Amino acid sequence: METTYSNNKFSKVPPQDGFRVAYILHLADNSLILGQRNAEWCGHGPVLEQDIAITNISLDLIGQARSFYQYAAQLINQHSPSPGGGRGEASEDSLAYLRTEREFKNCLLAEQPNGDWAQTMLRQFLYSTYQYYLYRFLQTNSDTTIAGIAEKSLKEVSYHLRWSSEWVIRLGDGTEESHKRMLRAVDELWSYTGELFIPAPYEKELSIDTAFLKDDWAKKVNTVFDEAALTVPSNVFMQEGGKTGTHTEHLGYILSDLQYLQRAYPGCDW
């Protein structure tokens, strides 16, 4: 079994909370990495209005990540006064900036490159659909902090879903060129959707069996694809590993950028 979730930095966290911390980090990493990817568009969007729109989504996602990291840090600190290897207490920033490639637990889908506007829109749509059903489910979680963050974020995610669905439809059913680009995006991203519904060990331990979200997800994706004149691919081999720290090569570069200052100037306030 993968053990990255009980990484030595958090060795004093007892197993049950260890799973919980791992899961919260998984949620946080998903939002952070996708937010970071979307942020790459800022200043480069196809039209000012949409530049502003995608940046709003990026801000929502980074906000969600911060809430989850803060909660994870709180749980870690309860058990261990100095989990950061002598660098003081865990914090949202120590968790985002000082973990390594193998410790990040985001889904592979979130870290895939922006590509063109079609690929970014499709990635957002596939992920927002997943996030929508997941947060709806988590709203009633027995962990009231997780439930609270999910409830607040659900409003944001509902908007992301609506916005990205419209773009997928517009581009899928727009011009010949946009349709072609959507097909390429589907080709590019589809193999990263399977992982969403294969529960990682920490999800199983917490009885968050994401497999049951698959039907709702597939239904929504089908409806939108239908309207977008796109076909849902079949018999695609599905990649996995992100949830347990085995990523695509892209993540290393994302973290090089993300963590550069914290790594170059350790222990500073910013």
Partner 1 sequence: MPVQNFEQIFQGKIDNEVKIEPKDWMPDAYRRTNIRQISQHAHSEVVGMLPEGNWITRAPSLKRKAILLAKVQDEAGHGLYLYSACETLGVSREETMNDLHSGKAKYSSIFNYPTLTWADIGAIGWLVDGAAIMNQVMLTRTSYGPYARAMVRICKEESFHQRQGFESLLVLSRGTEEQKAMCQDAINRWWWPALMMFGPKDSESTNSDQSMKWKIKRKSNDELRQNFVDMIAEQIKTLGMKLPDDKLKWNDERRHYDFGEINWDEFWQVVKGNGPCNKQRLDARKKAWEEGEWVREAAAAYARKKASPNPSKGGALEAA
Partner 2 sequence: MNYIRKFYYGDIPEDKGGAEISDSKNPPSGGRGADWPLWEVFIRSKQGLDHKHAGSLHAADAQMAIENARDVYTRRMEGESIWVVESKYITASNPEEAGELYDPAKDKIYRHPSFYNLPDEVNLM
Return residues touching partner 1 (CB under 8 A).
Answer: 32, 36, 39-40, 42-52, 55-56, 58-59, 62-63, 65-66, 69, 92-93, 96-97, 116-117, 169-171, 173-179, 181, 229, 254, 257-258, 260-262, 265, 268-270
Distance in Å, CB of 264 to partner 2, minimum:
33
163 binds, among partner 2, partner 1, none (CB under 5 to 8 A by kind): partner 2
DSSP 8-state code for residue 212: G
108 binds, among partner 2, partner 1, none (CB under 5 to 8 A by kind): none
Residue showing tokens 């069996």: 209
Dist CA 188 CA 182 (whole Å): 10
Distance in Å, CB of 192 to partner 2, minimum:
27
Distance in Å, CB of 183 to partner 2, minimum:
21
Q: How many CA atoms lie within 13 A of 231 on its CB side?
A: 5
DSSP 8-state code for residue 236: P
- Comparing CB distances to partner 1, the nearer of 26 and 244 is 26
Residue among 156, 238, 251 at smallest CA distance from 197: 238
Distance in Å, CB of 224 to partner 1, minimum:
14
In order, the DSSP letters of 177-204 are: HHHHHHHHHHHHHGGGSGGGGS--HHHH
89 binds, among partner 2, partner 1, none (CB under 5 to 8 A by kind): none
- CA angle, 155 then 156 then 161, to 5°: 100
Dihedral sign (CA 111, 115, 117, 123):
negative
- Comparing CB distances to partner 1, the nearer of 49 and 249 is 49
- Comparing CB distances to partner 2, the nearer of 162 and 263 is 162
